[in-house]
Amino acid sequence: MTDTLVKPDLSVLATPPPAPPRRRRIFRWFRGIHTLVFLLPLLVSFIVFSWIPIGRAVVMSFQKTNLITTQFVGIENFERVLSDPLLGTAVVNTLWFALLALLFGYPLPLITAVLMSEVKRAKGLFSALAYLPVVVPPVVAVLLWKFFYDASPTGVFNEILGYVGLGPFPWLQDAASAMPALVVEATWASAGGTIIIYLAALTSVAPELYDAAEVDGASIWKKIWHVTLPQLRGVLLITFILQIIGTAQVFLEPYLFTGGGPANSTITVLLLIYQYAFQNSLGGDYGSATALSIMLAVVLGLLTAVYFRLTKGWSS
Amino acid sequence: MKSIRTAAALTAVGALALGALTACATEPAVDPNAPVTLKVAIDAGLEQGAIDAFDARVDQFEDKYPNISVERQEYNWTGTTFAAELAGGTIPDVFTVPFTDGRGLIERGQLADISGIVADLPYAEEFNPNVALAGEDAEGNMWAVPIAAYGQGLHYNRALFEAAGLDPDSPPTTWDEVREAAKAIADETDAAGYAQMTSSNTGGWILTTLDYALGGRLEEVDGEEATSTIDTPEVAEALGLLHDMRWDDNSMGSNFLYDWGTINQDFAAGRIGMYVSGGGNYGSLVTQNAMNPDDYGVTVLPLADGGDAGVLGGGTLAAVSAKADAATQAAAVKWIDFYYIEKLTDKAAAQADAKALFDADAPVGAPTLPVFDKALYDENLTWVDEYINVPVEQMTPYTDNIFSQPLIPEPTKSTQEIYALLDPVVQAVLTDKNADIEKLLAEAQASAQAIIDRG
């Protein structure tokens, strides 16, 4: 009987392979240049529109400048920002927005996607309807909702709620209800994209798992809890961190709905940055704005790093 | 990352060099006949007739000064983009700025110091002193030339007054009467009786207006030192009046986040009975917001008894970009003199300007304040009499009384930042029934003082 187990010839590993002939080396180098040339436009635009401005912002955070006259002031901008009482308010408001968006806006697309995946007919129609708010330009959506949120008894929402006997609400005109009102609109505007992602992810769940759960006598909720959610873990992870990063940078809703009011109850960190740079000082305080931007970027970067570290073992 | 550091370092050096260069630009001894190209601002969105009238004026100017070639550039003052546009060089050499922003721009060196050239103009000493203050630096040199002035007024809707059983020809003359009228309008109609701006720094602006009308001031300035006087009885009284109208009378409607544009919209739409704003708002209300001219009325702000009460003044300055060199600055002052000032002092220029506005269906004769003195102002009105197309009879409560009201300039130190921190104070009073006015004022004063000390 011949020895079918062939011992590998390990001597091959001891010496490096001979260098390819010169022509092939040039060809390989030439192919590398090709890659670089195709990458160049992307690299240039990335450098010019992303990396240089970021570098400029870092430098500006140590300066007092109005773009005409500039002087270096060390960490004075950071001290000024950290001692601003509005910063505390802005951070708390941003966290409050993030929490509300998490409680209300994170489960909603998931539940909707699960429900929609159970529908047998007209799936495309439901997907289109779900995605429609995403297609509406954000500024248009906000201005529309601002009109709906009119606090007088004849405002659209108040009128509709008045039919069922619910009294006129102040919506944006009251410090307690302004932020939740913003979260409702933000969720409406962005849920569609997440729904589509979840719908796609749900198709990857093997139907045999559901059959197995059925055999074990699981109800629909148990099936969702024990089969769907664990299978979707990877996607849920990503959408969670994206939501946190997105809500930490919320600007459009507070800016257009309330301008940070009433009484600073909807001012967020990014709106504060905008006010430093453009509203209060007519361009005299770019230093504080960039200082706060840098600090926000660092915090979000740390948060993301910690998050991925903690959840390293979770995704499949 | 080396390339980024290098890029960043080079940028910083470049910015410093630019700063040094502009500092060198203010040299005297300029040849008055050397050819100069001057970029001047023209309002954006004008009708072709108005643009043609502007070009005709440009031709007259170029005939008078053959060495200056004028290019027009559409530009409307926008505070948020001004610094970036100035740095990028996309601002015309001559442009207009509201009073409220003038002092800040001068302090930050974003305007050219044309005070030497302006001092040579024949009327340099004849400006109304309160009006001229807005364009002057701390030493009293005129860096920007006032070309229009107005005083705050109380605008009211005549139709709503009639609907509420009030006489539109006898508007309120005291703050108590304002409160009663507001309550009547709110009770008899769907509209808000009285509304107030509270956002985008207008909250502080109008609160300061009320403060002045009640005899207070926002700042006490003593040479280089300034003390914030926000926590004073007059400001508390103004906030108390707003609080009572909002919560006791419910006469302020249900929208408390107005800024300048949105309150004009709602007033023009007949949803507000009375509000406080600049006296010359008629143009914006009628041309931009389609208000029915028959419904418009304006009266002076009620002033408290006692010597200190006055009306907050505003207006427009003509300024020169900080990037203009000496020759351009000289040409710019000639343009300011020709285009902006001549229509105030010269009959032919005034009539030509009024005719151009009249033909473009723009309002002529909306109430303003004299930039020089009242006699010249009255004479000017007689020159343009045939072109006046605003309902002046409806404005007599304002025009009959505004000239006897003391005109007070806005606070000079860190104006916009202090207005910004007063916005939430006014919003709190109007949206929170239990707002502690004393606490809000104490905190606001402390923050304002910190801003003044830092600035």
Cis peptide before A170 (omega within 30 of 0): no
Best residue in B91, B254, B426, B447 for a mutation probing chain A (most A CBs within 10 Å): B254
Please report, as a single letter, which amino acid is at residue A119.
V
CB-defined contacts A:B, below 8 A = 141
Range in A274-278, A287-291, B5-9, B367-371 with the lowest mean pLDDT: B5-9
A293, two tokens: 């931007």
B420 in contact with chain A, both atoms CB, cutoff 8 A:
yes
Q: A306: which residues sit within 8 A by CB, 6+ positions away?
A: none
Distance CA B89, CA A284 (A): 17
| Mean local confidence (pLDDT), B299-322 | 91
Q: What is the pLDDT of residues B422-439, one digit of tens each?
A: 999 999 999 999 999 999
Angle between helices A123-135 and A107-118 (to 10 degrees): 150
Cβ of A263 and B432 within 8 Å? yes
B287 in contact with chain A, both atoms CB, cutoff 8 A:
no
Q: A271: which residues sit within 8 A by CB, 6+ positions away?
A: A90, A251, A254, A255, A260
B2 in contact with chain A, both atoms CB, cutoff 8 A:
no
Cβ of A263 and B11 within 8 Å? no
Cβ of B15 and A280 within 8 Å? no
CB contacts of A44 in chain B (<8 Å) are none
Name the CA dihedral angle for B129, B133, B138, B143, rounded to a multiple of 10 degrees.
-110
Please report, as a single letter, which amino acid is at residue A298.
V
Q: What is the pLDDT of residues B54-72, one digit of tens each?
A: 898 899 999 999 999 999 9
pLDDT at A271 over 90: yes
Q: What is the pLDDT of residues A7-58, one digit of tens each?
A: 666 666 666 666 666 666 666 666 778 888 999 999 999 999 999 999 999 9
Q: What is the pLDDT of residues B156-170, one digit of tens each?
A: 999 999 999 999 999
A151 in contact with chain B, both atoms CB, cutoff 8 A:
yes
Cβ of B190 and A263 within 8 Å? no
Residue A261: closest CA among chain B residues belongs to which residue?
B424
For the stretch B194-212, what's the b/e string if a residue is b when 16 or more beta carbons lie within 10 angstroms of its beta carbon? bbbbbbbbbbbbbbbbbbb
Please check whether residue B333 is in contact with residue B61, taking contact to mean a CB–CB distance below 8 angstroms. no
Please check whether residue B181 is in contact with residue B172, taking contact to mean a CB–CB distance below 8 angstroms. yes
A61, two tokens: 């955070």
Comparing B154 with A222, the larger pLDDT belongs to B154
Cβ of A67 and B424 within 8 Å? no
Residue numbers of B between 316 and 335 with CB closer than 8 Å to A: 322-323
A263 in contact with chain B, both atoms CB, cutoff 8 A:
yes
Best residue in A80, A264, A281, A286 for a mutation probing chain B (most B CBs within 10 Å): A281
Distance CA B408, CA B329 (A): 30
B160, two tokens: 């709503």
Range in A115-124, A138-147, B327-336 with the lowest mean pLDDT: A115-124
B11, B190, B435: residue with CB nearest A56: B11
In order of start, what are the domains of chain A with their CATH numbers? 16-60 (no CATH), 77-310 (1.10.3720.10)
Please check whether residue B407 is in contact with residue B311, taking contact to mean a CB–CB distance below 8 angstroms. yes
B82, B109, B424: residue with CB nearest A264: B424
- Identify which of B422, B446, B425, B443 has the alpha carbon closest to the alpha carbon of residue B435: B425
Please check whether residue B40 is in contact with residue B336, taking contact to mean a CB–CB distance below 8 angstroms. no
Cβ of B11 and A59 within 8 Å? yes
A54, A174, A282: residue with CB nearest B79: A282
In this predicted structure, what is the pLDDT of residue B1? 44
Cβ of B84 and A283 within 8 Å? yes
In this structure, the number of other CB atoms found within 10 A of the CB of residue A177 comes to 18
> Can you give the residue ranges of every domain in chain B?
151-313+409-454
Please check whether residue B390 is in contact with residue B282, taking contact to mean a CB–CB distance below 8 angstroms. yes
CB contacts of A53 in chain B (<8 Å) are none
For the stretch B341-377, what's the b/e string if a residue is b when 16 or more beta carbons lie within 10 angstroms of its beta carbon? bbbbbeeebbbbbbebbbebebbbbbbbbbbbeeebb
Cα A41 to its chain centre, rounded Å, is 27
Task: Taking the CA atoms of B380, B382, B383 and B384 in sequence, report the sign of the dihedral they define.
Answer: positive
CB contacts of B18 in chain A (<8 Å) are 68
Distance CA A133, CA A127 (A): 11
Cβ of B322 and A68 within 8 Å? yes
A136: which DSSP letter? S
Residue A266: closest CA among chain B residues belongs to which residue?
B424
B15, two tokens: 């910015």
pLDDT at A85 over 70: yes
A51, A150, A283: residue with CB nearest B4: A51
Please check whether residue B370 is in contact with residue B386, taking contact to mean a CB–CB distance below 8 angstroms. no
Please report, as a single letter, which amino acid is at residue B229.
T
| Mean local confidence (pLDDT), A175-192 | 92
Residue numbers of B between 17 and 46 with CB closer than 8 Å to A: 18-19, 22
Q: A66: which residues sit within 8 A by CB, 6+ positions away?
A: A283, A284, A286, B83, B108, B109, B110
In this predicted structure, what is the pLDDT of residue B215? 93
Q: What is the pLDDT of residues A224-257, one digit of tens each?
A: 888 888 888 888 888 888 888 889 889 999 999 9
Task: Name the pLDDT band for B6 (thresholds 50, 70, 90).
Answer: low
What ipTM goes with this model? 0.82
Q: Is B172 helix (H, G, I), strand (E, B) or coil?
A: coil
φ/ψ bin of B89: left (φ > 0), alpha (ψ from -120 to 50), beta (otherwise): left
**Nearest chain A Cα distance for residue B9, angstroms:** 8
- Identify which of B403, B398, B409 has the alpha carbon closest to the alpha carbon of residue B131: B409
In this predicted structure, what is the pLDDT of residue A69? 79
Q: Is B149 helix (H, G, I), strand (E, B) or coil?
A: strand
B427, two tokens: 């919003």
Comparing A122 with B205, the larger pLDDT belongs to B205
CATH of domain B151-313+409-454: 3.40.190.10
pLDDT at A80 over 80: yes
Please report, as a single letter, which amino acid is at residue B331.
A
Cβ of A261 and B101 within 8 Å? no
Q: A275: which residues sit within 8 A by CB, 6+ positions away?
A: A260, A267, B420
In this predicted structure, what is the pLDDT of residue A6? 65
Q: What is the pLDDT of residues B224-279, one digit of tens each?
A: 789 999 999 999 999 999 999 999 999 999 999 999 999 999 999 999 999 999 98
Cβ of A282 and B105 within 8 Å? yes
B81, two tokens: 């983009």
A143: which DSSP letter? H
**Nearest chain B Cα distance for residue A297, angstroms:** 18
B250 in contact with chain A, both atoms CB, cutoff 8 A:
no
Q: A71: which residues sit within 8 A by CB, 6+ positions away?
A: A63, A64, A65
Please check whether residue B447 is in contact with residue B421, taking contact to mean a CB–CB distance below 8 angstroms. yes
Cβ of B257 and A262 within 8 Å? yes
* Whether the model pTM is above 0.90: no
- Within B158-256, strands assigned E span 192-195, 219-222, 225-228
B449 in contact with chain A, both atoms CB, cutoff 8 A:
no
CB contacts of A261 in chain B (<8 Å) are 198-199, 257, 423-424, 427, 431
**Nearest chain A Cα distance for residue B428, angstroms:** 5
Distance CA B258, CA B202 (A): 8
Q: For chain A, what is the mean pLDDT?
A: 86
Separation of first and last alpha carbons in chain A: 45
Please check whether residue B250 is in contact with residue B195, taking contact to mean a CB–CB distance below 8 angstroms. no
Separation of first and last alpha carbons in chain B: 35
Comparing B104 with B388, the larger pLDDT belongs to B388
Whats the size of chain B, residue-wise? 455
Give the helix ranges, DSSP H, for chain A: 11-14, 22-46, 52-60, 76-82, 85-100, 107-118, 123-135, 138-148, 156-163, 175-202, 207-215, 220-223, 229-231, 233-248, 252-253, 269-274, 286-310
